[in-house]
Chains A and B, each alone.
Chain A
């Protein structure tokens, strides 16, 4: 029996690696058709922040010892400029332009997938452990738990959005890499890694700054578990025969059980903060050195974060802000800027309270929300949260609207380029056509977030149900 199972496991592993290699080959094939696909100029793929063409322009300006931020072309990080810039000018004879950059992005994608897989394995381990702890009758009967890590990694790798973002020469794989790195570090409770990922992610695209809450929760409580109440309840059920007066010692016992980290441990969090400050100082110093002769750090902040927060570039993208700020009166502009960005912040706290036992899922929700409301969204952001969604296949198996969401995503992602074509190239449509698909896309994202959160809460409820029944039976 055992060797059979082992061979099956082996086979599954082989199957996973086959698909990974296939995805790499697929990307490489696509990289060799860049002329025909012309993905790098699609508004869905390359935003003012992630476009590699802009980065190359910034690098060019820097080579001419001008400020890379001159002329409102480049708005990214100076570190990315020094990392990727030299690769943009290097051409290999007979190969497509930007081959080296493309390879970097492919590697980043693979690393992302691997990190997601490792995170998923971690989560799954925790999941099975907590199920065992809860001694869940019904769920333990379930034949097997889906290897969510593998699925999430494959979903990430084979998601058309990821492929398009990778082949379309946008820097979003790198940004995603930083975010996933921080999540992975936090899941493994490695404060330096988590801090590094978080600092870099924030530095590159600012919005991941809100991930600090899931980071702290992850480091403090550990990865996703069912609500802590359940464990207490479980204990109650177990010791239900005992007279109620020794509840305090029973609590103590719970605390003592090392498998269930119930208490918030401050040590990794403090470590995390120390490392965060260290890394941020480091990054700031590096940035300061690289932009010293072009106006210093203040100029850098104005040109990068200021550009993101004030939505200066109103060229169309798949978000909803460009259209809105193109229409809004100028004297309302600041107000609405605050409203839109406040929107993300308003949702942070309630979600954090409700989902504090599932920090990874909370991170997913935050990423989804910020990629919906951010100023220059691209498909690379969607690729990230759709990949993370795969981490929770076990929990979200009973999600509603899954088919509708799938159809919606397919439909919108096909319709949006067509509308763009109708507007820009054929001239028969107008901006409203394109914006309609952007709104549909935003609605889909909202539905996805709402449904996934409610499915997760339902799942928790389902876990509690047999416990309460048990308790009731005993009482």
Chain B
């Protein structure tokens, strides 16, 4: 809005116009202040974090005494024992364990069904980013030889109507059941057996024993897809055509003694209120039993904060577990972070001594921990790759988390093991009982937040400030550049048409106010190229048997070829060494348009995935603001200018996605053994989750970078 306000200086401008003019005329100072403030606010976020609270009143966590008792623990032990004994027996097929679990389930009186799925390679599809999880249209990737088998048990709630359900997920490898997996199955089983007896249950309980032979996520995702997209006869016939129906069901039935409750069909239990993924690891903790919460789903989505609150509350206050969320370990020992934390601590002390009401100081150690947690929260959200099988649920608007319970010592001691099982079981029972109280879906608390510790969070309203401060300089600078371009001698605008009066380039003869169209065309071209570059891998991965390195090389070659082709097609004046002397006005307009495009892109991304946008803004905003024609700087041989050139080049280099990736990777893991193929594999891993981050990195990253380079090169060439 502010951009053209400078163009028409009125005799007596209104205050808002005056403010706009002031900002535009001091855009340099303003942008420096804004950027610094943005970075500072980002660093302050751990201080600004609030304590979590349970927002939904209906939940009432921990209001009932746990019914989970040692009887259930013995049930769990029974299952664990038989699973481990099964494991020691050398039975070839992996069906045995499923059969065993199904037998146990049916003894409890649950409905049981098997879900057979074919793992399919996650494939990147450029057009499937913002649509609903794809329907069964991409069934061609299934391989018929390998299939997994999920076992699903459902308890019908005595007080429910079968319209709502809570899901328990225990992923385990059916070929080799590890001790942790056996324990997680044991806990889930004991809770399940308790829930068959209780009277308060109002939502059905689904226990999904996911076969993680082909990955935990794949199994859960396949089940969810079939749950939500009913396969009708036509499609199932199609499926049968593709893969001959193996007789797993018959096999299972023949073998099982208690087959009365096993159903052929797919069993459903209404909409899912919550899903809990239960995992057990052992022996890694030093102090006490602990619970790790993983919450990040695809594209930086998070489950409702209330779910994490419940788990945290029950784990800490009822079961005495230590709750952890992921941290960036490398940051904890970071020197400068510690110093910053101490500075903030002392600042807090000073503030407190001035006015005892001000309590914003936090201890330095907390600050460092919070920052490390925040960094990892940002990192995983930015990556857009789910941190566990819970990620599959979020795509269907179901709140889910993974609870990884780990014990202090190896669970050889029987009493210790029983105690562990008891606490884990009680925790899960408590969570289920709380969620059972829920009247609607989770909606009361936040969906957009960052965690700084299990009980502290930064809400969207706070972290957006950091981002907004960071990008606020972009429109102002764009406006001031735009105004500059129009101020630079107006007589110039008339003869501008002569050099470019080619027949193809008609818009160039438009008068002054539409000058930006040329620059916009250039920027559009570069963005189009960015889009092409980011869609190319879709075609490249169709090429069979390609190593990452060769694919990467093919990609680079194709991308570099596509740019001249595109510019040829669009007939643009996109050539580097054009004889017409570089004009300052052209350049300012180009920069202005580039910055506006970057601003739009960043704002868009901040809505889709905040963390990506924040990291992108940290890289791109300085790049956008600093870009200057190289030639002018080099001519004027001053140290300051030279520094600016160096900064420009460094930022341009870092901002180029592959280069940035290699530098970061080198910084964290050492430069040895990095190949170009790594970037390819990394990208592959991202797009396989159809992460918008991928699109973003490529589209925005490449585009902005190339535009900047073009800026620089046009001037130097």
Contacts and interface: CB of A to CB of B under 8 A. Distances in A.
Is B truly associated with A? yes
B1 interface: yes
Interface string B172-214: 0000000000000000000000000000000000000000000
B488 interface: no
Contacts of B131: 38, 425
Interface string B1-19: 1011001100000000000
A403 B510 CA distance: 14
A111 B162 CA distance: 56
Interface in A139-173: 143-144, 146, 151
B448 interface: yes
A427 B397 contact: yes
Nearest to A398: B513
A36 B538 CA distance: 14
Given A11-B503, A12-B503, A411 B604 contact: yes
B130 A403 contact: no
A397 B520 CA distance: 16
A35 interface: yes
A399 interface: yes
A418 B504 contact: no
Contact of A425 (B3, B8, B397, B604): B397
Nearest to B511: A397
Interface residues of A, number: 38
A297 to B, nearest CB: 41
A406 B503 contact: no
Contact of A144 (B4, B7, B509): B509
B301 interface: yes
A38 B7 CA distance: 43
A404 B513 contact: no
B512 interface: yes
B513 A421 contact: no
A426 B394 CA distance: 8
Contact of A418 (B509, B511, B604): B604
B506 A415 contact: no
A146 B132 CA distance: 45
Contacts of B600: 407, 410-411, 414
A150 to B, nearest CB: 8
Contact of A397 (B128, B130, B482, B513): B513
B301 A146 contact: no
A38 B132 CA distance: 11
A401 B4 contact: yes
B510 A393 contact: yes
B437 interface: no
Interface in B599-649: 600, 603-604, 607-608
A279 to B, nearest CB: 39
Grouping DSSP codes into helix (H, G, I), strand (E, B) and loop, the A interface class, with mixed when no group exceeds half, is helix
B607 A422 contact: yes
Contact of A415 (B125, B441, B497, B607): B607
A403 B3 contact: yes
Interface in A419-449: 419, 421-422, 425-428, 433
Nearest to B137: A35
A104 B447 CA distance: 45
A419 B606 CA distance: 11
A418 B4 contact: no
Contacts of B8: 400
Interface string A252-291: 0000000000000000000000000000000000000000
Contact of B513 (A146, A151, A400, A414): A400
Nearest to B608: A418
B570 to A, nearest CB: 10
A15 interface: yes
A397 B596 CA distance: 21
A8 interface: yes
Nearest to B515: A403
A146 B596 contact: no
Contacts of B130: 417-418, 421, 425
A37 interface: yes
Contacts of A398: 511-513
A181 to B, nearest CB: 27
Contact of A143 (B448, B497, B603): B497
A33 B137 CA distance: 13
Contacts of A130: none
B514 interface: yes
Interface in B560-597: 592-593, 596
Interface in A1-54: 8, 11-12, 15, 33, 35-38
A411 B603 contact: yes
A402 interface: yes
A30 to B, nearest CB: 11
Interface string B370-381: 000000000000
A427 B513 contact: no
A418 B150 CA distance: 35
Interface hub of A144, A411, A417, A428 (most chain B Cβ within 10 A):
A428
A143 B509 contact: yes
Interface in A306-350: none
Given A400-B513, A407-B596, A428 B604 contact: no
Contacts of B607: 415, 418-419, 422, 433
B3 A404 contact: yes
Q: Which 6 A-B pairs have the closest CB atoms?
A: A428-B447, A397-B511, A36-B127, A427-B397, A411-B600, A11-B503
Interface of A: 8, 11-12, 15, 33, 35-38, 143-144, 146, 151, 393, 397-404, 406-407, 410-411, 414-415, 417-419, 421-422, 425-428, 433
26 contacts: A8-B503, A12-B506, A36-B128, A143-B509, A393-B510, A397-B512, A398-B512, A398-B513, A400-B8, A400-B513, A401-B3, A401-B4, A403-B516, A404-B1, A406-B516, A407-B596, A411-B600, A411-B604, A414-B604, A415-B603, A418-B608, A425-B130, A425-B397, A427-B441, A428-B301, A428-B447
Given A11-B503, A404-B4, A428-B301, 4 more contacts: A399-B513, A404-B3, A425-B131, A427-B441
